[in-house]
């Protein structure tokens, strides 16, 4: 499984991010979280695409401690998220960022380095832009001075009090999905043949979008999609379960239509038990709902084929790994 590391100084907001995104914790409840004092590992396996481990590191971690095997940790890492508290003096955080990135890059040059400039909800728009520019400049200057200008850092302005943290995590996760170009291509074909303006493929549990079409993502559009998923799940939990409380709030029958007052229709359809397609459609285009549903049926079938190919690859790798283990010689020199 790809591994995502959450790093940063103490009280920068690492554990709060994890709880809000993957455990549906209310942002206000995170105020009562205790500081992390050991490495916390968690499997996130909501669907075949969102399938990775998150390691939450305590802020006081010491790379020079002989008990800290940073080579083993960085070698299996797909993305390293470094969280910087934008409302605090971030000079110490930048020094720790530089140490972390240089150490990780030496062990594994393929790591994606993602910088979350966090807690920006307390800053004005101008202050946000200025803070991002300053951190971006200082971090890259430090790498250039060390002769490591080829390392690429991605920067995001985030807050747990709005959808910016979900969008940032979506971008991080997408880089770890090898099928992303295929999914984007399928979405492009789907919207062009259906008269749809914008489409997202969402992981329902975390509200991370796995893929979207090639048109630009508008933050307001993304927030509406997240709100729609919440509405569908909440109403299904109240009215969709059986009398004895069994069943699931989200299944193959799940579908929702919300008409906005600006002649736009939000359309949600179940793709798999963990994934939903959420579309923005003009009212006049939605009159051809039969065409949209037919194209959606073709799209869902294609997604299932992508899943099947992936599972075959995983099974093949496991089989090859098992065969290689059996071929290793025993201590007396004969094959197993």
CA distance 234 to 197: 26
pLDDT, residue 333, reads 57
Residues 228 and 268 in one domain: yes
Q: Is residue 132 part of a domain?
A: yes
Q: Is residue 326 part of a domain?
A: no
Domain at 289, CATH number:
3.30.450.190
Q: Is residue 324 part of a domain?
A: no
Q: Which of 176, 197, 212 is where one domain is finished?
A: 176
Residue 83 lies in domain: 3-176
For 259, residues 6+ apart whose C-beta sits below 8 A from its C-beta are 265, 266, 283
Domain at 77, CATH number:
3.40.50.300
Cα end-to-end distance, the chain, whole Å? 28
Contact assessment for residue 80 and residue 7, using Cβ atoms and an 8 Å cutoff: yes
Q: Kind of pairing, strands 40-45 and 51-56?
A: antiparallel
**In this predicted model, which residue has the larger pLDDT, 312 or 214?**
214
Q: Is residue 331 part of a domain?
A: no
DSSP label at residue 148: -
Q: What is the pLDDT of residues 223-277, one digit of tens each?
A: 999 999 989 888 888 887 776 666 677 777 888 999 998 889 999 999 988 889 9
The answer on pLDDT for 325 being more than 90 is no
Q: Is residue 318 part of a domain?
A: no
Q: Structure tokens of 322? A: 């098992």
Residues 143 and 263 in one domain: no
Residues 150 and 206 in one domain: no
pLDDT, residue 108, reads 92
For residue 44, what pLDDT band results from cuts at 50, 70 and 90?
confident
Q: Is residue 287 part of a domain?
A: yes
| Number of structural domains found in the chain | 2
For residue 315, what pLDDT band results from cuts at 50, 70 and 90?
confident
The answer on pLDDT for 334 being more than 80 is no
For residue 63, what pLDDT band results from cuts at 50, 70 and 90?
low
pLDDT, residue 143, reads 92
**In this predicted model, which residue has the larger pLDDT, 33 or 174?**
174
Residues 120 and 246 in one domain: no
Residues 148 and 192 in one domain: no
Residue appearing with tokens 């951190």: 135
Contacts made by residues 287-296, CB under 8 angstroms, sequence distance 24+: 288/194, 288/195, 291/193, 291/194, 291/195, 292/194, 292/195, 292/196, 292/267, 295/190, 295/193, 295/194, 296/190, 296/194, 296/269
Query: Three-class SS of residue 84?
Result: strand
Q: Which region among 45-49, 75-79, 173-177, 209-213 has the lowest average model confidence (pLDDT)?
A: 45-49
Q: What is the pLDDT of residues 139-176, one digit of tens each?
A: 999 999 999 889 999 999 999 999 999 999 999 999 98
Residue 282 to residues 50, 258, 270, Cα–Cα distance (Å): 30, 12, 20
pLDDT, residue 246, reads 64
Burial of 232: CB neighbours in 10 Å, binned 0-12, 13-18, 19+: buried
**In this predicted model, which residue has the larger pLDDT, 224 or 320?**
224
CA distance 230 to 200: 15
Average pLDDT, the chain: 86
Residues 45 and 164 in one domain: yes
pLDDT, residue 244, reads 66
Residues 160 and 261 in one domain: no
For residue 52, what pLDDT band results from cuts at 50, 70 and 90?
confident
CA distance 207 to 204: 5
Rg of the chain (C-alpha set) = 22
Mean pLDDT on 100-127: 92
DSSP label at residue 121: G
Start-end of H helices in the chain: 14-23, 70-75, 91-107, 125-145, 164-174, 180-194, 219-239, 283-286, 289-327
**What percent of the chain shows pLDDT beyond 90?**
49
Residues 145 and 195 in one domain: no
Burial of 208: CB neighbours in 10 Å, binned 0-12, 13-18, 19+: buried
Residues 289 and 234 in one domain: yes
Q: Is residue 322 part of a domain?
A: no
Residues 192 and 127 in one domain: no
Q: Kind of pairing, strands 51-56 and 153-157?
A: unpaired
Q: Which of 161, 176, 191 is where one domain is finished?
A: 176
pLDDT, residue 64, reads 64
pLDDT, residue 133, reads 95
Q: What is the pLDDT of residues 187-228, one digit of tens each?
A: 999 999 999 999 999 988 888 899 999 998 888 899 999 999
Residues 74 and 131 in one domain: yes
pTM: 0.84
Residues 69 and 12 in one domain: yes
Q: What is the pLDDT of residues 80-108, one digit of tens each?
A: 999 999 988 899 999 999 999 998 999 99
Q: Is residue 329 part of a domain?
A: no
Contact assessment for residue 132 and residue 123, using Cβ atoms and an 8 Å cutoff: no
pLDDT, residue 331, reads 55
């Amino acid at each position: 499984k790809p591994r995502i590391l959450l790093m940063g100084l103490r009280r920068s907001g690492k554990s709060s991010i994890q709880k809000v995104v993957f455990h549906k914790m209310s942002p206000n409840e995170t105020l009562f979280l205790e500081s992390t004092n050991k490495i916390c590992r968690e499997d996130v396996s909501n669907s075949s695409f969102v399938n990775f481990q998150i390691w939450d590191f305590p802020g006081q971690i010491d790379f020079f401690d002989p008990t800290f095997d940073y080579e083993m940790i960085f070698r299996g890492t797909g993305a390293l998220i470094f969280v910087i508290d934008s409302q605090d003096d971030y000079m110490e955080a930048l020094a720790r960022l530089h140490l972390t990135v240089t150490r990780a890059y030496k062990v594994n040059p393929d790591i994606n380095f993602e910088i979350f400039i966090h807690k920006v909800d307390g800053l004005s728009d101008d202050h946000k832009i200025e803070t991002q520019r300053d951190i971006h400049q200082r971090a890259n200057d430090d790498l250039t001075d060390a002769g490591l200008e080829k390392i690429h850092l991605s920067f995001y302005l985030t807050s747990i009090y709005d959808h910016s943290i979900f969008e940032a995590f979506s971008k991080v996760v997408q880089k770890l999905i090898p099928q992303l170009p295929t999914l984007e291509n399928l979405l492009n074909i789907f919207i062009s043949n259906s008269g749809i303006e914008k489409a997202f493929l969402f992981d329902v549990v975390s509200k991370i979008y796995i893929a979207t079409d090639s048109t630009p993502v508008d933050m307001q559009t993304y927030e509406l999609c997240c709100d729609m998923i919440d509405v569908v799940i909440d109403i299904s939990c109240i009215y969709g379960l059986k009398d004895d409380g069994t069943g699931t709030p989200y299944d193959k029958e799940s579908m929702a239509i919300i008409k906005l007052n600006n002649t736009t229709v939000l359309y949600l359809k179940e793709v798999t038990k963990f994934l939903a397609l959420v579309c923005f459609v003009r009212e006049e285009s939605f009159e051809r709902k039969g065409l949209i549903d037919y194209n959606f049926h073709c799209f869902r079938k294609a997604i299932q084929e992508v899943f099947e190919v992936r599972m075959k690859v995983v099974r093949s790798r496991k089989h090859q790994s098992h065969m290689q283990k059996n071929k290793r010689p025993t201590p007396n020199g004969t094959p197993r």
